[in-house]
Structure 1
Amino acid sequence: MKTGTQLSDELEPDDIERARRTSSAGRKLIWMFLLSAMLILLVLRDVYREISGEGLSFAIHIPTFVTPYIPAIVLVFVLLAVVVGPMLGLGRSPHRLVRPSEIDVDSDDMLGASSTVEMIEQLLEEYRNFQVLSDRYGATPPRAVLFEGPPGTGKTMAAKVIAKRAGVPFLFVSGSSFQAMYYGQSGRKVRSYFRELRRLTRRYGGAIGFIEEFDAIGSARTNMGVSQGADGVTGVVAELLVQLQSFEHNTIVERIAVKFGILSASRKSPRFLLVAATNRASELDPALIRPGRFDRSIHFDLPNVQSRREIVYGLVEKRVGQATAASFQPTIDRVASMSGGLSQASLYRMVEEAGVIAFHDGKRPLLEQDLWNAFAQVALGRNSGVPYNDFEKLVVSVHEGGHCCYRWFGGGKPNVSLVSILKRGEALGLTASHGEQDTYLLSRDDMLDEIAALMAGMVAEEMIFGDVTSGSSSDLKRATSLAMKYSTNLAMGRSLISLGEISPQTEAAILTSEGPVRDEIESILRAGRERSFEVLSRCSKELWRLAMKLCEVEELDVRDLTEVLGPRPNSARSIDVSQFESSRRSQS
């Protein structure tokens, strides 16, 4: 077993098991000592009675007036045991010690996350060579790292990979496990966790602690510059501040050894690494995330289209083999381009759902259509069929046909991939569109084009039936939200003033009161409606033909749409950079 500054590459299972039982062994010794002391006292009492001539008497004499109260007394002692018993372990560390051999993920399982794997390699290199980094370069490796990002982006998996590659004990704990109902017990649990982390570090030459959902104990205190304070966690945050600042504290034995010259005062103690993961980094206490406590913050973002393609292809390849996965490539590309906003966890679940679909369909091998059905189920909602009557079915077909025809003939960047009148969740139908690449910026034309596309369903109903239905409510809500951002947040309207994040109360106040902002939002929505009417008027025949086809087959993909509507016009806008160059020269 390696100790000191040497990092053990592989730990023996027996050593890890002994480390797991060490904390409970001390408590067992204390109880054994107390029971032994009681037995010794009883023996001494009997010896004294024997010597004094009183003799030994084992009879128990209970006064008669006490006899009726015996059940109540027993009940009181039982209740005390139930209440006090659990309190004896309230200050224990709530962690779970995991062996490196028990971790079933590695860097090869982190599909589509090449930058994250590179970050892990750098962190491990710094962790292993902390002594060289300190002596030669005068740099201090990070002692605590914060993983922050949306849910399902691989934060926990990355921490497991770090522990497996490092080959050291991994102390996993959830932030909510530190919370206790009695005052002061949460701080005791934090101290016990860090004490155990230091102990294992000194024993094995290294250890890694991982706190999941760190915001449960690290939320900002009141008046710390964050919008919402949490007075209930003030004591826990204070204890975390102390523990994160005192990584290198020596034990009592080590301090005595330093005092008598047995150990060098400048000696570097073995390193341990603390990793904390949270979905709400903005709510953490500012004193926690400053350098010196959490030295590094790593953001885990949602995968882009290339990463989504790698993730889905890798998962499919593991299940059907490389040759069959290559034949799935068209569907994989379509799913990757349409799944913007899905996390890694959602993509993993989608591929698993494809296997479930194949299992229920006669336990057959996985097919390409299963992958598409799984994507529609995870991203769009479970298929509930067409529960409408004939007239409602026609109205929904016209409505979705309006969205599709505007996207198809009206220009704009997104391409229509799917039109369906199948009910999925609360949506009576859907028109799915995608681009070849993820879009991170929207121009004025993009915003107005999206608003017009949202208004196209209502415009189509009015053109065909002369009336509108309640099916346009969600479209109007989204269009109003975009128009609000256009006017008040993105400085695309008449005013350059940005109101920042609009709360629901402020939004309701703007929309229900007379004023220039409300007038501008109304004009934007009306302009989008007119734009939709102009485009759909040019393709009214195609709109009706598409609605009839939807009533017949209920769902159309891009190949079916090409047969019904013809080739999509190439109307994507291009930017002439020379215009900006000439404008810049004229201004200079």
Structure 2
Amino acid sequence: MNRTKQLALFFAILGMALLVSIWIGYQFLDPFNRDTIIATIPFDLSFSLISTFLFVVFNRIFHGMGGLGFVESKLVHSSQISVSFADVIGIDEAVEEAREVVQIVKDRMTSPKKKTKRIIRGLLLLGPPGCGKTLLAKAIATEAGLPFLALSGSDFVEKWHSLGASRIRGVFKEARRLSEQKGACVIFIDELDVIGRMRDFSTSAGEEETNRTLTQLLVEMDGLNQAEKGNIIVIAATNASEDVLDRALLRPGRFDRKLYVDIPGSEGREKLFRHFLSRVSSEKDIPVHALAQMSTGKNAADIENIVREAALIAAKENHATISLDDLMTALDKLELGMRSHAHLSDKERIRVAYHESGHLLAARFFSPEAEIVKVSIAPRRRKFSVVQQIPKEDVHIRNKETYLTRIRIHLGGYAAERIMFENTSELVREDFIQATAIAREMVWAWGMGSSGLIGNYHAIDVRDISDTFKQHLDNDSETLLRQSLEATEELLTRNRGLLERVAARLLEKEELKTEEILAIFKH
């Protein structure tokens, strides 16, 4: 007999017992009380029905929100995920560590009683968004052949009192049941920082509820350290810095491993392009290495989006296959926005052309090892113009000269406008933001100022630094900017004829590619 039939039989017997009790009691009442009871029966019956209905409705709501119904909705079997380590591309180091985690879990499943076996209870995935943390967690569950409870930190945040803690208990209860049946279970919590931030012991109701939820998670993860609590591994992912998380979460015994899933390097981006292009119809001779170089700083999600957008562009242009031009157009569209229909006046176009020519010459002469892919003055949604330059290889450590070069390139447009028009425009806004930020970091954090001041002053509360000392730091930053501007203006003045030729060619064609740019510099 199933549970539903058992409940129906129970309520039927209970109802009959109540009716018999009421009938017996009614027989012993005097006529006046009998009439009173009969008169109030419709009201009592209506009230009882409404109360029962509300009880059933709210019981179902809370059962679904915090109980078994909620947990079952988050259960995914490994056969349904179908994500293997072969599908996780561009983050080879993270995959290797994940393989070791899977092996540890399998060893534990095959020999659960052996005390010598390594045990892992928690795995924390850290890194920027879109790099494959969730995909890696799914691959771990699939490779280990385990049931997978997939949740988000926001699943535990509700306005109902203690509902977050109740859901945590429900999830771990179900995980223990699945662990007993299947040998092990994976609990995956995405956006851990939503419930795992450093606790704030203020009196606000929201903070109290979040604290209760985090405390319950800590209690449940402590329970996993007891020998016979089941083979459960908790995998959590967050885009936030490790410093944001509560220290109690990070201590050994809760999250035993920390796995950093970072933005892929050049080789990783090349593999990602090959992978996503293999899933669509594309030309065979596409220079994937060049695409990888042009997409510096892009993650797996970005590259997938570039290929998807290129497929849409190819379909729109009735191309049978995706070409390099389609991919370049997609990259421009996602990075710079669609072409704008804004019509600049002749004077405005001339200013924009000289502005970008200034950037181009500064990039060419101050950073000759990097390849200039394109310069354009075609208006777009996010920028009026752009110079695209790619390094020949990924750079992981930058020195003072590298940062000075970046500042000079950012100031190239400003310097060109000063030379050609003896005034400047609002085109320099974004350039100034970038140049000022670099100069400030050089002085305040990396000890690269001309006065010799050293130390990372961002690590100190700005209120603890005297106004005089802050003025010294700011003066150093301004000195770097002025020296960089002088070097850039000197370069452009010395090559004014070349500056004018580049600007004229830009006004004629609006967009110049690598070969056309190199041809101008050769003459």
Determine if the TM-score, normalized by the shorter chain, exceeds 0.5: yes
Classify the secondary structure of the residue corresponding to 1:320.
Answer: coil
> Residue 104 of structure 2 contacts residue 118 of structure 2 at CA under 8 Å; is this kept in 1?
no
Deviation at 1:505, TM superposition (A): 8.3
Instruction: Confirm or deny that 1:276 pairs with 2:253.
Output: no
1:263 maps to what in 2? none
**Alignment CA distance shift 1:173-1:389 (3 Å):** same
- Check 1:223–1:433 CA distance in 2 against 1; reply closer, same or farther (3 A cut): farther
CA contact (8 A) 2:353 2:507 kept: yes
CA separation in 2, counterparts of 1:219 and 1:34? 46
Shift of 1:158: 0.7
- Distance in 2 (alpha carbons) for counterparts of 1:200 and 1:145: 19
Partner of 2:414: 458
**Contact 2:266 2:292 survives alignment (8 Å):** yes
**Contact persistence 2:341–2:379 (CA under 8 A):** yes
Encode CA deviations 1:476-521: one digit per residue, 9 max, x unaligned.
1211111111222110112333344389988xx989x993223222
Q: Which amino acid aligns with 2:317?
A: D
Q: What do residues 502-561 of structure 1 show as CA deviations (whole Å, max 9, x unaligned)?
A: 89988xx989x9932232222221111110011112221121111111112211121121
Question: Which residue number in structure 2 is paired with residue 197 of structure 1?
Answer: 175
For 1:382 and 1:208, the matched residues in 2 are separated by 43
Partner secondary structure for residue 233 of structure 2: strand
Query: Structure 1 CA distance, aligned partners of 2:467 and 2:480?
Result: 15
Q: Is the 8 A contact 1:148 1:299 kept in 2?
A: yes
| Structure (1/2) with the larger helix percentage | 2
Distance 1:185 1:411, change over 3 A: closer
Residue 548 (structure 1) aligns with: 504
Q: How far apart in 2 are the matches of 1:488 and 1:126?
A: 45
Give the alignment of 1:16-165 within 5 angstroms.
Answer: 28=4, 31-32=7-8, 35-42=11-18, 44-45=20-21, 62=39, 86-92=61-67, 94-95=70-71, 96-130=74-108, 138-165=116-143
Offset, 1:83? 5.6
Structure 1 residues 436 and 278, CA, compared in 2 at 3 Å: closer, same or farther? same
Per the TM alignment, residue 272 of structure 1 is displaced from its structure 2 partner at its CA by 2.2
Query: For residues 343 and 5 of structure 2, what CA distance do their matches in structure 1 show?
Result: 69
Amino acid at match of 1:273: I
Deviation at 1:381, TM superposition (A): 2.6
Provide closer, same or farther for how the CA distance between residues 136 and 202 of structure 1 changes in structure 2, counting only shifts above 3 A: closer
Give the structure 2 partner of residue 516 of structure 1: 472
Q: 1:304 aligns with which of 265, 285, 308?
A: 265
- Of 215, 219, 229, which residue of structure 1 is paired with 2:193? 215
CA distance in structure 1 between the aligned counterparts of 2:9 and 2:454, rounded to whole angstroms: 74
* Gap change, CA 1:510 and 1:334, over 3 Å in 2: farther
For 1:409-420, what aligned pairs fall within 5 Å after superposition? 409-411=365-367, 413-420=369-376
- Letter of the structure 1 residue corresponding to residue 389 of structure 2: S
Matching residue of 1:239: 216
Q: Which residue of 1 aligns with 2:184?
A: 206
Contact 2:151 2:189 in 1 (8 A): yes
Letter in 2 for 1:87: F
In 2, the alpha carbon distance for the partners of 1:510 and 1:348 equals 49
Distance 2:112 2:82 in 1: 33
Cα displacement (A) at 1:77: 8.3
CA contact (8 A) 2:224 2:230 kept: no
Q: 1:315 to 1:131 in 2, by over 3 A?
A: closer
Identity among equivalent positions (%) equals 26
1:110 deviates by 1.7
Give the letter for the 1:100 counterpart: S
Q: 1:33 to 1:396 in 2, by over 3 A?
A: farther
One-letter code aligned to 2:102:
L
Shift of 1:124: 1.3
Cα shift at 1:452? 1.3
Q: Where do residues 6-17 of structure 1 align in structure 2 (5 Å cutoff)? A: none
Q: Does 1:328 align with 2:286?
A: yes
TM-score (norm 2): 0.87
What RMSD, in angstroms, separates the aligned Cα atoms of the two structures? Answer: 3.6
Q: Does 1:534 align with 2:490?
A: yes
Contact between 2:183 and 2:231, CA under 8 Å: does it hold in 1? yes
Q: Which runs of 5+ in 2 are unaligned?
A: none
> Per the alignment, do residues 137 and 271 of structure 1 end up closer, same or farther by CA in structure 2, a change over 3 Å counting?
closer
The unaligned stretches of length 5 or more in structure 1 are 1-24, 250-266, 568-588
SS in 2 for 1:501: helix
Provide the C-alpha distance between the structure 1 equivalents of 2:503 and 2:11, rounded to a whole number of angstroms: 84
Aligned length: 508
Per-residue CA shift, 1:154-208, capped at 9, x if unaligned? Answer: 0110111111122221111111111222222211110110000000110122221
How far apart are 1:243 and its partner, in Å?
Answer: 0.5
Q: What is the distance in 1 between the residues matched to 2:155 and 2:27?
A: 55
Cα distance 1:298–1:30, how it changes in 2: closer, same or farther (>3 A)?
farther
- Partner residue of 2:154? 176
Q: Does 1:495 align with 2:448?
A: no
